[in-house]
Structure 1
Amino acid sequence: MEIEQCDVDTEFLYGKLEEEIYMELPEGLRELLELAEAEGEDDVVCMLLQSLYGLKQASRVLNETIDKHLKSMGFEPADTDPCVYTRGECEDECIVCLYVDDMLIASRQKTVIASVKAGIAEKFRIKDLGRARFILGIEIDYDMERRTLGISQKAYTESIIKKFVDQG
């Protein structure tokens, strides 16, 4: 089984908002505010047309967008975990695990993984990270001779120990 990883770039810009959200002008747009005030406008705000990082609904909107695209590619979410998607059977089976903008894509066939990445890239700009080595604080170790895969949270454990040692 091959497991590869990719990351959606500028992930929160892909989702479309269903509700109207207004925000104050950001720092870089003060000149526009001064221009608007000169024309008699007192309170100038921006209406967001798409999701942005930091909105409380941003992750939900992104998940709905990716979910819709994966389903259009023939993937079905698992009943037990809606962030795990499957498609195909036997040698052509592919599994996609999704955590916000991080994806693991697993299959016995590298060509299947490449095809899935290409399908995802039709909608989203992705960073292809190759073979999965480290995700969500978990290190993945492959032993191809023994046909085994091991996982470890050594780095996380060491960071916890360091935190407590530093505190005294």
Structure 2
Amino acid sequence: MSLPEGFITQGQEQKVCKLNRSIYGLKQASRSWNIRFDNVIKSYGFDQNVDEPCLYKKINKGKVAFLVLYVDDILLIGNDVGYLTDVKAWLEAQFQMKDLGEAQYVLGIQIIRDRKNKTLALSQATYIDKMLVRYSMQNSKKDLLPFRHGVHLSKEQCLKTPQEVEDMRHIPYASAVGSLMYAMLCTRPDICYAVGIVSRY
């Protein structure tokens, strides 16, 4: 780290400061935070998932706690409220944090919990509605299937004339396909085939 103006001594202009800890906003700050969190949570007995490094699990006498970390947001899930309360209390002793209560939304995905039927559901209806407005598709005809039977896309339907290419520059096709891919990966695997088809052309 270079010395800030006003701290440079005559004849020692080449000296630098030693940075003892990461500063918020630096590119390495998030990595530094992740390493610290990982060490702290593992010291409490959580095991990191091999395939999904942001997922941690702790099992103790039939009580299970899952912890999902996304940057500095934490989602706790478990089968015993008392056990989760203990985990939260321990985390609050380690970090400055705020408990937002039962999760309703995570990363723009709505969590719908039906206690009576003991079910959990995920919904991206708000995201999809915003996406439809963004691409001026809010008045489109709704259908049960994401891809109509008998529709065949091919290279022959691609742009041919310079005028068609110019007209297409004003249509955010790639962006729309990317938005569909996000929904597909999060909550809508049923549109996978259709997204695959439209992303080819």
Aligned CA distance change for structure 1 residues 164 and 105 (closer, same or farther; 3 Å) = same
In the TM superposition, 1:114-133 aligns within 5 A as: 114-133=85-104
Identical pairs, percent = 33
User: Which consecutive residues of structure 1, in runs of 5 or more, have no partner in the other structure?
Assistant: 1-21, 26-32
1:86 matches 2:57: yes
Counterpart residue type for residue 104 of structure 1: L
Aligned CA distance change for structure 1 residues 24 and 163 (closer, same or farther; 3 Å) = farther
Greater relative contact order (CA < 8 Å, ≥ 6 in sequence): 1
In structure 1, distance between residues paired with 2:101 and 2:17: 39
Contact 1:75/1:85 (<8 A) preserved = yes
User: Which consecutive residues of structure 2, in runs of 5 or more, have no partner in the other structure?
Assistant: 138-169, 172-201
1:145 alignment partner in structure 2: 116
In structure 2, distance between residues paired with 1:64 and 1:138: 27
* Deviation of the 1:91 alpha carbon: 3.8
Counterpart residue type for residue 153 of structure 1: Q
Aligned CA distance change for structure 1 residues 127 and 44 (closer, same or farther; 3 Å) = farther
Contact 2:2/2:15 (<8 A) preserved = no
TM-score, L = length of structure 2: 0.60
The superposition leaves residues 53-74 of structure 1 with CA deviations (integer Å, 9 ceiling, x where unpaired) of: 3222111111111110111101
Structure 2 residue corresponding to 1:109, chosen from 71, 74, 80: 80
Counterpart residue type for residue 126 of structure 1: M
In structure 2, distance between residues paired with 1:42 and 1:165: 58
Contact 1:85/1:95 (<8 A) preserved = yes
* Larger relative strand fraction: 1
In structure 1, distance between residues paired with 2:113 and 2:61: 22
Secondary structure at the aligned position of 1:126 is classed as coil
In structure 2, distance between residues paired with 1:156 and 1:63: 28
Aligned length: 138
TM-score, L = length of structure 1: 0.70
In structure 1, distance between residues paired with 2:122 and 2:27: 32
